Amino acid sequence: MDSCTLYPINIPLRNDGKPDLRYKAAKEFVASDISKERTTNPSKLSIQSLKSTSHSSKPEIIEQQEQKVQEQQKLKLIDIGKMITIVKDDFVSGTCKAVRQGLIILNDDRTINPQSPLNLDGIIKIRSDGKLDRRLKVMQYIDDRSSKLKVEDYIGEQSKEDSLIINTELFFGLLEKKPGLRSSNYSIEQSLSFLSEKVNPKVGKDTRTKNINNNKRIIELIDGNGRMTRELRTYIQQKVDAIHDLQQKKKTTADIEWIGCEMENLVRK
């Protein structure tokens, strides 16, 4: 409202022609007029108020959007990582999903071709020796089967005096003889979980030493060396029977099946 505005005759005015707010009628008129203007012209609301609202909500919206993008990127990396399998000597398995779908192209010497789509997209990086650079985030989610199986990676410190660790050592020793791609960590953990049901948790020192020696002799027999004895045959048969029991309970894996067959073959010789 300016000095040219015409006011109702009952509104007291100052010398400059504006409502004299010392009077109740003037105060009520001004208050009513402002309220009406805000209702009919919302665009004339306080600019400072709008700025304040925008300023307070904008960072929160941006943060939520960034979190959503980061989560989507992480899920994408997890999905891609699951498609990549690393085997012995850090080579990418030629049978993994990333290779089968053409996302990773392998050269004849099994190194990674720089023209691989995942490399061009920056999701993976190739070292000078043609293998995957483990520093990239996607490497956190790959199926890594490159390292040698170690008992301490699967069995806690509290189990080191149990007969379970002896069976685990035998299990890992036999798996090294198994042809083809090593099983995933999940599959190995599942096998160990089943096998752990068929051991005596506590054994004496003499028995433990004897079991360790028998396990070594089993590995030698698998390699075509060593000699079968009556005692060793009985020891192997006990393990075969335990595996048969697991099979009947449908608590078995491809690794357990393979080991069972190998041990049965030893007993039959």
Q: What are the DSSP calls for 193-257, one per residue?
A: HHHGGGS-SB--HHHHHHHHHHHHHHHHHHTT-S---HHHHHHHHHHHHHHHHHHHTT---HHHH
pLDDT at residue number 46: 47
Q: For residues 85 and 79, is the Cβ–Cβ distance under 8 A?
A: no
d(CA 234, CA 224): 19
**Residue among 211, 148, 197, 154 nearest 175 (CA):** 148
Measured in residues, the chain has a length of 269
Q: Which portions of the chain are predicted below pLDDT 50?
A: 1-3, 35, 38-53, 158
Look at residue 245 in the predicted model and tell me its pLDDT: 92
At residue 38, the pLDDT reads 42
Give me the amino acid identity at 106: L
> How do beta strands 85-86 and 143-144 pair?
parallel
pLDDT for 163 equals 64
Element (H, E) at 38: helix 24-40
Give bridge partners of residue 144 from the DSSP assignment: 86
How confident is the model at residue 162, as a pLDDT? 58
pLDDT at 212: 87
pLDDT of residue 261: 94
Determine the pLDDT at residue 206: 78
- Contacts of 133 by beta carbon, 8 Å cutoff, 6+ apart: 124, 125, 126, 127, 139
Q: What per-residue confidence (pLDDT) applies to 45?
A: 41
Please check whether residue 98 is in contact with residue 138, taking contact to mean a CB–CB distance below 8 angstroms.
no
Label each residue of 2-24 as H, E or C.
Answer: CCCCCCCCCCCECCCCCECCCCH
* pLDDT computed for residue 13 by the predictor: 77
Cα separations in angstroms, 24 against 13, 20, 29, 36, 190: 12, 9, 9, 18, 85
| CB neighbourhood size of 65 (10 A) | 10
pLDDT score recorded for residue 250: 93
Torsion of CA 192, 195, 199, 201, to 10 degrees: 30
Residue-wise pLDDT tens digits, 81-118 = 999 999 989 999 999 999 999 999 999 999 999 999 99
pLDDT at 251: 92
> What is residue 42's predicted lDDT score, i.e. its pLDDT?
46
Q: What angle do CA 139, 108, 106 make, to 5 degrees?
A: 30
Express each pLDDT in 121-136 by its tens digit: 999 999 999 999 999 9
